[in-house]
Structure 1
Amino acid sequence: MRKWLYSIALLGVMSVIIIVLLFEQNDRFRQGVYKTMIAENQIPEEYVPIYQEASDEYGIPWELLASVHRVETIFSTMDPLVSPVGALGHFQFMPRTWVGWTYPGVDDIGNIDEETDITDTFLIEEHQGYGTDAKGTGQADPFDLNDSAHAAARYLADHGATEGDFEQALFSYNKSEDYVEEVLNYYQTYIEQGYELISIPFQNHAE
């Protein structure tokens, strides 16, 4: 009997170790865990002041910004914060959208030379990009949550969100009807059913 219990305990410990290793080393597994773990009506509490500040600045609902963040990177739990096509940061901007589309690109989807300093605010101003230095640090970094959230809010505002045309704004942000529907589903959940504030364990991306 003791030997049987020992075997069960050992199997349990090994299972936990395997799950932890998968979580820490397998990006897809970790993202799947977070996507399942975070309920439809949940929002990380630490991010709400950032959403609210950016949304107040650009005149859009902060819940819309939270919904975009949820869909783009599952509240920054995606690791790394770089998509297969090259979108960067917490809110997944293509480099040329961040720097400005008058800046030369290496393809037609918005990538630029890797040597380019996309945080250069003078470069962004020159090419009228959406990169935003939210805290006045002298850099506009898509991997800084404040900068990325303000840039996303500004982009949505410029594309119709301030007038209440959320569908148009979201479709401009990501030209996919499925994307628009998914974001609006979260937004409507937050607005109509309320939201629950949570803390995300093992979260390392918020800056």
Structure 2
Amino acid sequence: MINFFKYTMQSENGAARSLAVPAGVMFFLMLITLFTVSLTLIAAQTESPTVEESTPEVPAVEPIPDEFMPVYTEAAEAYDVPWEMLAAIHRVETSFSNADPMVSEAGAVGHMQFMPCTWTGWSHPSCENLGEGDIPEDVQTDPEAIATYGGYGVDASGNGKADPFDIEDAVHSAAYYLAANGMADGAEEEALFVYNQADWYVEDVLHYAEVYSEEAEDAELVSAEQLP
């Protein structure tokens, strides 16, 4: 016995007509419909979505001013730290001493942006919190006072003062600080993080240092090729 499904459709003149469709045919039509819908859904799911790849922002690299290179290399040799790290810090901190003024909102001072208490020494009575302190200038630049308070300021220029606004003193002091915090032993990232406790800062300095190192190597190759 064949079962029939009653199917009602509307004719062109609007009259309703009833058709008897065998159950097997109706079942077959339903299977085809389900199969078509399934294929459509699968195709939609397997299409590759359009993804906009975000490119991380890379800091622009400024060339190193020629007058600073001897200072970097001398300080690097004195404290056994990479010169390119000093150049990179100088770039990040004050854009090669182009910051005006060279005093940050937090109170960091000079070419390499030392907090006064780090420069003079944290055992100074006024040193607390972030290290801005209340240190008279004659004390802050006195090598003997700095030695007494355990600071990192260095009189590299030999004028009797350890001045964070003197480029030689500032760069040598930065080299001394980095070396004392592990860079001389190869702990570059750790030393940079002590210098400024921010991951973005460490990444930026490492980026600049790598570029400056590569540029120096390329320049050496060019010079060697030009030799007779």
Identity in percent: 49
Of 164, 170, 177, the match for 1:148: 170
What's the offset of the Cα at 1:192?
Answer: 3.1
Unaligned runs of 5+ in 2: 1-58, 220-228
Distance in 2 (CA, whole Å) between partners of 1:74 and 1:149 is 14
The answer to whether 1:80 aligns with 2:122 is no
Partner of 1:161: 183
| Number of corresponding residues | 160
Partner of 2:118: 97
- Could you say if the C-alpha distance between residues 113 and 196 of structure 1 is closer, same or farther in structure 2, counting changes exceeding 3 Å? farther
Partner of 1:115: 136
What's the offset of the Cα at 1:188?
Answer: 1.1
TM-score of the aligned structures, taking structure 2 as reference length: 0.66
2:64 match: secondary structure: strand
- Could you say if the C-alpha distance between residues 184 and 48 of structure 1 is closer, same or farther in structure 2, counting changes exceeding 3 Å? same
What's the offset of the Cα at 1:72?
Answer: 0.5
The answer to whether 1:172 aligns with 2:194 is yes
Q: 2:116 touches 2:135 (CA, 8 Å); kept in 1?
A: no
Identify which range, 113-122 or 86-95, moves more after superposition: 113-122
Distance in 2 (CA, whole Å) between partners of 1:175 and 1:40 is 22
What's the offset of the Cα at 1:186?
Answer: 0.4
Deviations 1:167-188 (A, max 9, x none): 0010000000000000000011
Q: 1:98 touches 1:124 (CA, 8 Å); kept in 2?
A: yes
What's the offset of the Cα at 1:79?
Answer: 0.5
What's the offset of the Cα at 1:115?
Answer: 3.1
Distance in 2 (CA, whole Å) between partners of 1:51 and 1:98 is 19
Of 75, 85, 109, the match for 1:64: 85
Q: Indicate the structure (1 or 2) with the bigger Cα radius of gyration.
A: 2
Q: 1:41 touches 1:195 (CA, 8 Å); kept in 2?
A: no
TM-score of the aligned structures, taking structure 1 as reference length: 0.73
Q: 2:178 touches 2:192 (CA, 8 Å); kept in 1?
A: yes
